[in-house]
Chain A
Amino acid sequence: MPTPLGKDLTALEYLSADQIRLILDTAEPFKEVSERQIKKVPALRGKTIVNLFFEASTRTRISFEFAEKRLSADTVNVASSGSSVSKGETLVDTARNLEAMHIDMVVIRHHASGSAEFLGKRIRSSVINAGDGKHEHPTQGLLDILTLRDKFGKIEGLKVAICGDLLHSRVGRSNIHGLLKLGAEVAVCGPASLLPRDVESLGVTVIPHIEDAIQWADALNILRLQLERMTAGYIPSLREYNRVFGLSTVRLDRAPKDLVIMHPGPMNRGVEIDSEVADGPHSVILPQVTNGVAVRMAVLYLLAGGAPDWAQAGGSE
């Protein structure tokens, strides 16, 4: 019997393979809800959710908001600018004040690694990590894995190369943990200056050249070059990065089989990925976005009730 999810979702590193599978399986029926004419089910009626975004986000925030609204939860968005955060209030004080207004869940994005877990230990409400610094972005990892499972049928034995800026990437880290737990082989590929020093200790192989990653992999997850986080000179120039590591049709045409191409967005077209590839037939970038809503609905649904009732899952009413 799989372990229930618990109160918070802060990192895929802390989940078991069964817990990850539970979320993915729960996401399946939620895909259909978003295809209905009336895209709403009453499952989270009366639940109040605060989206606490201390960092810019379009896709993730809107995806969470759609997921919450399609489950009939009441939602409030708080951005750091224009709130008391800009007056110097601490994270815990902000959250405790929100909790005093009887909320049920907090979705948090924060620039500090570990902030979601820190908050989860200090408030009663469920906390969902929507990206904490360079640590993890668990729902993005889950939606990437769901997209791969849709495409290949299973994750076990799949060869996934994660390419680009691993050093700053919480998406990369969540993918690595999630994919390895489900039995995939994971390689990372990027300039040495953008790979974490201890990256092999996570259980991945390093492939220094993107040409070799293309030969090896079933799927490529191309990470965004996080220009806003790069304070030091990690790469000589964007042009050179594109020349050495950019995913182009020329490179992709040499692949021994059809590769599935993923990107968590927002894309730097012409830097880590060329437009012809991003918009090409092997790209699943938009299905990833669609799956994002279903995965987040599944996480919200599961966290709102604790553990699933396994005894009832197979029985009759």
Chain B
Amino acid sequence: MDDRAIARCLARMASEIVERARGTEQLVIVGIQRRGVELAARLKRLIDDAESSHIAFGKLDITLYRDDLQAVGPRPMVGETTLPELDGKIVVIVDDVLYTGRTVRAALDECADFGRPRRILLCVLIDRGGRELPIQADIIGVTVSTGAGDRVDVLVRERDGEDAVAIVRGT
């Protein structure tokens, strides 16, 4: 996927979010560190431009909620978490790639420690299959089928200098 394909995808996802939430009132967009944050910020801009709204925005780092933290040995670096009020809101969690579902499980647990949203939607740019938990996305950019050895690389302009999605097939 190149930058134009990603832009078209995000535009469609933005309008789908508004449709699913029936408007922008009570809407909160939350990006999962790291590249989910950039994608979430762009979705927020797209929605705000189209709807003349100011929807609330947050960042979520799930490191401390990982279920493999006791097993990974060396500690991963912890990123920033800043969340607005979540009680009674419609929260859209945004991530770049949905794979095992474990990151989303951690994000749901972390959100629960911040408040009780009315509803939580999951929005991902790439759904690559391979779920290990009963979790599915509500809004999906592209679905691709991949094997366990494959890698899906999402690059975003803000962090990587370009917008691109590449599937690197494992041997």
Binding site for B on A (CB under 8 A): 4, 25-26, 28-30, 32-33, 36-38, 40-43, 45-46, 71, 301-302, 304-310, 312-313, 316-317
Pairwise interchain contact A309-B76, C-beta atoms closer than 8 A: yes
- Answer whether A309 and B74 are a contact pair too, CB < 8 Å, given A29-B61, A316-B96: yes
- Answer whether A32 and B70 are a contact pair too, CB < 8 Å, given A306-B75, A317-B103: no
Does residue B69 face the partner (Cβ distance < 8 Å to A)? yes
Which stretch of B21-29, B79-87, B131-139 is in the interface?
Answer: B79-87
Q: Total interface residues on B, using CB and 8 Å?
A: 30
A-B contact sample (9 more), CB < 8 A, given A29-B61, A37-B115: A32-B80, A41-B65, A42-B65, A43-B64, A43-B69, A306-B74, A308-B75, A310-B77, A316-B153
The residue from A36, A301, A304, A317 contacting B97, defined by CB atoms under 8 A apart: A317
Provide the B74-107 mask, 1 if CB < 8 A to any CB of A, else 0.
1111111110000000000000110100010000
Pairwise interchain contact B74-A32, C-beta atoms closer than 8 A: no
Q: How far is the CA of A25 from the CA of B109 in the complex (A)?
A: 25
Q: How far is the CA of A4 from the CA of B74 in the complex (A)?
A: 9
Does residue B19 face the partner (Cβ distance < 8 Å to A)? no
B91 to chain A, nearest CB (A): 16
- Give the residue name and chain of the A residue nearest to B87 (CB): A37
Q: Cβ of B63: which chain A residues have Cβ within 8 Å of it?
A: 43
Does residue B73 face the partner (Cβ distance < 8 Å to A)? yes
- Answer whether A309 and B79 are a contact pair too, CB < 8 Å, given A36-B113, A41-B64: no
Does residue B154 face the partner (Cβ distance < 8 Å to A)? yes
7 residue pairs from A and B, CB less than 8 Å apart: A36-B114, A38-B113, A42-B64, A301-B64, A305-B74, A312-B76, A317-B96
A311 to chain B, nearest CB (A): 9
Pairwise interchain contact B96-A29, C-beta atoms closer than 8 A: no
- Answer whether A316 and B113 are a contact pair too, CB < 8 Å, given A29-B79, A305-B73, A309-B74: no
Q: Cβ of B109: which chain A residues have Cβ within 8 Å of it?
A: 42
Does residue B34 face the partner (Cβ distance < 8 Å to A)? yes
Pairwise interchain contact A32-B65, C-beta atoms closer than 8 A: no
- Answer whether A26 and B73 are a contact pair too, CB < 8 Å, given A38-B114, A41-B64, A316-B34: no
B165 to chain A, nearest CB (A): 11
